[in-house]
Structure 1
């Protein structure tokens, strides 16, 4: 049994939830609002950021990239063809490169500013950084989504999945970040059919179902969010 401290709209948390869903492990979820900086949570992760995975032992594993490596090191061999980090060195490098692209670059330029401005700020006090969303930040982030979507489309046209012939952490990272902002209607799917088709395949996987079933009170999901044939 794993326990995951997460926020439902934290893209990194969504990535880890998708990975755990693909692996097929029992999971207990605890919602955490990192900006509140709870002492008990800071004891688990002094950085105060989600996600944090607590495994039997207990072992505390903070951060999406570290959790992904931990899961591969402890469970990867038993997964055989379902392993989310391939066995060959070259393929592992490519998966890690794309994981970093989405968990770092896409997060910084698109998913984090959109989720922060349009969701997190609703629940933050003024001292925590809350307040009305910044139209300038949202405008810049939405523009950045377009070139990231074009890159995903290029990858999808040249490979079966983003990093090769089968699904890996790379696909889950990209899909996790896209899903958080697709909820808000901020992904221009009409601009790239290849990216849209790839995302539809990933979104149709059983690991995605728990994410699609979660809605935020007062913020309805976009039309495309739950539609598997959008």
Structure 2
């Protein structure tokens, strides 16, 4: 069986899970506590990060972007990177926006500081980082709202990896109660459409020991 080594509240892992689910590719999930730095896992990915995809033929692909590119090339049915050169360029731009810029300015300042920092042995949350994360969240939500108002999906006429990347980050922040959905109706409506897709159901079923999501987290009509 194909294996995805992951962490439940990792945006990068959720993006890959959503891509696998949209493509209806069967796989098994294994939680990898990266802070334990298992030798067997480091042999597969010396960077010590998740996600890592183990194919049934022994192929190992590490890094969420590399995995998603691989999936779109190896399993071209239900393309997620776009069909034209222009579409693919825009999808890649937005995936980089969420996985680099949004991650640096929002996700790391909120989710990383509040949830992962202690597990990794990096001490207590930094109040300044938390304040920066909340301040940065608002303009990012406004940008997502502008995209949602001007396009059927974030990168164009069809759902793509751009939507999955954005939803992966927002879903992690939503799990820990850091998203105020009243900030932008267009973002809430777009997220409700993504959240309602069958591929998203396993994400909504995620539960992390000692951390209970808000009541609306799994509610499709939130």
Q: Which TM-score bucket, shorter chain as reference? A: over 0.9
Number of the residue aligned with 1:106: 102
Does residue 15 (structure 1) correspond to residue 27 (structure 2)? The answer is no
Cα displacement (A) at 1:37: 1.8
Three-state SS of the structure 2 residue aligned to 1:225 is helix
Does the 8 Å contact 1:117/1:134 carry over to 2?
Answer: yes
Does residue 228 (structure 1) correspond to residue 217 (structure 2)? The answer is no
Q: Give the number of aligned pairs.
A: 222
Cα displacement (A) at 1:55: 0.8
User: 2 CA distance for matches of 1:91 and 1:189?
Assistant: 28
Does the 8 Å contact 2:109/2:132 carry over to 1?
Answer: no
Does residue 175 (structure 1) correspond to residue 167 (structure 2)? The answer is yes
Does the 8 Å contact 1:185/1:224 carry over to 2?
Answer: no
Does residue 136 (structure 1) correspond to residue 136 (structure 2)? The answer is no
RMSD of aligned alpha carbons: 1.3
CA deviations on 1:28-51 (whole Å, 9 max, x unpaired) are 111112222221111111111111
1:1-230 superposed matches below 5 A = 1-76=1-76, 79=77, 82-124=78-120, 128-129=121-122, 131-230=123-222
Gaps in structure 2 of 5+ consecutive residues: none
User: 2 CA distance for matches of 1:32 and 1:167?
Assistant: 29
User: 1 CA distance for matches of 2:209 and 2:118?
Assistant: 11
CA deviations on 1:117-171 (whole Å, 9 max, x unpaired) are 22223534xxx32x33222211211211111111100000000000011100000
- Using the size of structure 2 for normalisation, the TM-score is 0.96
- Using the size of structure 1 for normalisation, the TM-score is 0.92
CA deviations on 1:101-120 (whole Å, 9 max, x unpaired) are 11111111111332222222
